[in-house]
Chains A and B, each alone.
Chain A
Amino acid sequence: MNTGQIISGAGHAGLICWALLGGFFQSAPAPFQVTEVTAISTEEYAALIAPQQAPDAVSNVATPEPPAPGDMAPDLSSTADDAPDVAQPDVADTPPLEEAPDVTEISPPVEAEVSDEPPVLEPPSEDVAVLVPEISPRPQPRPAPRVAPEPVAQPEPDVKIDDVDQPKAEPSDKPDEVVKEDKPETAREEATTKIVTEAEKVANAAPSKSVRPRTRPAAPKPEQTAKPADTKPTTDSSSVNNALAEALGAGESNTGKPGGPPLTHGEKDALRVAVQQCWNVGSLSSEALNTTVVVSVAMTENGKPKSETIRMLSSSGGTGNSAQQAFEAAKRAIIRCAKSGYGLPRDKYDHWRDIEMTFNPENMRIK
């Protein structure tokens, strides 16, 4: 089949379709359409359209009362309620409010005639660095009544609480060993680094308390008696600083020369750590915990503060009352932890004759 035939066939087919669909064979449309109708009367027509008419507008319809002020507020009055006539309880003896006592100020007390100097305690026969095992950080500190910058494990029940950890000193049977004074074992009070509430305890899966392993029983041979200094495992930073301060300062204290080089960082840190161990802010008001005080103190050559020279230089962040409370807590800290002196190097006395301490409780507000 050639191309001409295809074109011819398609053309004829299109022509036939146009003739059939294009209305070539239809007749012309009629000029009008005829429909059958029914004639009705005027009355019937009016009856048919009557329901569809809109009602006449009425302008005087009664509107509802607006809600009373207070939006359905109940009828409230303070009249006595006579409905519940309940008998008074037999035991309802009115709690008689005790008469408030009269308050009067009384005269100040008599000054004591005796010296208030505390008894001088003999230092241990052998200075031993404070040795505390390093404690790995825990996700949640366990509860303890004391909150301190460093956690302290619960001491043995029969160990005396003191400012330092010290093993029991016992006389040695070795003839060539220095005779030691028989001193009881001491340990620092148990402490945690943060207050743990009851709600927080639940989240802590760690055991809340553990007993420190007991030391080994003493070996039978006298030669094997453990030296206290040898039983110490490791030390913490404050203990290092204390020991360093001792080594750097106390060793040269016999020179008796005033002046000398300024205090080292370690010596200053040792003093700071010593004071902060006695700075108890647990009983301060929240306002006093927002108050920073600067306190000056004059020191004696043996490293003890002169109590009468402690005074507040300035305060910030609180009222006069809160500053006074903060100052008293700072004063107690300076005096309490200097029972044996602060161990400052005597040859540098000119550098620490007068000290200014800034007590900033910002880190202590929520522990």
Chain B
Amino acid sequence: MMKQFLTLLMALFIAGMPAFAQDGPLRIEITEGVIEPLPYAVPNFVADNAAGAQFGKQIADVIASDLTGTGLFREIPDTAFISQITSFASPVQFADWKAINAQALVTGAVSVDDTGKLVVRFRIYDVFAGQELGNGLQLVGTQDGWRRMAHKVADQVYSRITGEGGYFDSRVVFVAETGPKDKRAKRLAIMDYDGANVSYLTDSTSIVLAPRFSPAGDRVLYTSYETGFPKIYVLDVASVNRRSLNTAEGTMSFAPRFAPDGRTVVYSLTQGGNTDLYRMDTGSGVSTRLTNAPSIETAPSYSPDGRQIVFESDRSGTPQLYIMPADGGEARRISFGQGRYGTPVWSPRGDLVAFTKQSKGRFHIGVMRLDGSEERLLTASFLDEGPTWSPNGRVIMFTRETQGAQGRANLYSVDITGRNLKQISTETGASDPSWSPLQK
């Protein structure tokens, strides 16, 4: 009791002391803040004509789903709205939106023009500043593409508030899995980043693995066992035509990935019981050996500038991560923690490497700096593996498989801070995701 009294007395004394003489304005420094979802409101887009009426709510719902799904924003339900947006041209009553603590407001209008095209207009407001964030935009597209238009609006909102690029108008190629674990059918599939619009690219007559998008998002590299041995194929997404990277008979090629130039492919090739990294110019077909070690080198991934490659090797006794020049040469080890590291993927921003880690009987998805520092494990489960980066380098998608004979593989995503871990809804089991760049 006495201690508390003395503490309070001391606090009173210190707090009551006047500050030093003040020149000019009062100056204070704010070094601590809060991290919480930013509240926003997206009223249904106003229908400018009858044909556009069916899209007003749908588009607003997709925008809200995109923004809230990031974990950075919190939607204010329309039941809390004080004022309604009945006309896109009407002025915004900021006081009404401040009263419900909406810090951002998205208003829009939708219509179908004479040619049957869908026209979407929208504005973004900073409610407390009482001003528009950037200029309003108008999108014109096909009616079938309304979801893409909604994703594009959400990308704009995300970008204008956070200052970094969005990732909603993107797609994911993955391996769709059906059947029991011991007799699982696998085929390539592609979908929107949020699990919508699933289409299949191959049948399930043979096992397919590890699809990887090209930098432009128009082609997919993957590994197939249809000849009995793993072999790499290139598939054109638009036509579904494909061809193989013709490797020597009796070799196994796998783990391919495009270089940022879109012409070069780096991959693993097993010959004579040894696995090393090679790269191939897809135009000329000329290949170059990049590593020459008795250990297993695999899972290569280029840096965004194409000058370096991060890969997995067991040359030190256990699988670890290494970085070497893109032309081959001396590699430096970057992972030094306990456990086994694999499937490294370079961030699109170039500052981090995502990886799979196995330690103490659990699997993790994690990130680390290029020198191996600041390792952060973002997830932990029975089996997590195969990370892929969102186009803006903010989110990681990966495979999580549940335990047991009835275990199923699913896709999950997590923010690089470790927050907002969530499952991507898919009809079938899903694994090996690869995130496309933003669509043009």
Q: Which residues of A does B touch, CB under 8 Å?
A: 70-81, 83-84, 86-95, 97-119, 145-149, 189, 191, 195-202, 234, 237, 240-241, 244, 248, 261-269, 271-272, 275-288, 296, 307, 321-322, 324-325, 328, 330-333, 335-336, 351-364, 366-367
Contacts and interface: CB of A to CB of B under 8 A. Distances in A.
A332 B129 contact: yes
A246 B97 CA distance: 30
Central interface residue in A70, A76, A87, by most chain B CB within 10 Å: A76
In the A-B complex, the 5 residue pairs with the smallest Cβ-Cβ separation, listed nearest first, are A266-B15, A197-B418, A98-B145, A74-B248, A101-B141
B288 A356 contact: no
B33 A98 contact: no
Interface stretch (B236-244, B295-303, B311-319): B236-244
Contact of B19 (A78, A89, A265, A276): A265
A76 B245 contact: yes
A239 to B, nearest CB: 11
Contacts of B294: none
Contacts of A87: 203
Interface of B: 4, 8, 11-12, 14-22, 24-38, 72-73, 89-95, 98-99, 101, 103, 118, 120-121, 123, 126, 128-130, 132-133, 135-142, 144-145, 147-149, 152, 161-164, 171, 187, 190, 197, 199-206, 224, 226-227, 233, 237-240, 243-248, 251, 253, 269, 271-272, 278, 280, 282-289, 292, 349, 362, 364, 366, 374, 376-381, 414, 417-419, 421, 439-440
Contact of A268 (B19, B32, B187, B197): B19
B16 A266 contact: yes
Nearest to A273: B32
B247 A74 contact: yes
B378 A89 contact: no
A107 B123 CA distance: 10
B226 A70 contact: no
B93 A112 contact: yes
Contact of B138 (A78, A106, A108, A276): A106
A283 B138 contact: no
Contacts of B19: 262-265, 268
A304 to B, nearest CB: 13
A272 B19 CA distance: 14
Given A84-B224, A199-B418, A355 B248 contact: no
Nearest to A296: B25
Given A88-B240, A95-B237, A244-B12, A118 B32 contact: no
B34 A99 contact: no
A106 B72 contact: no
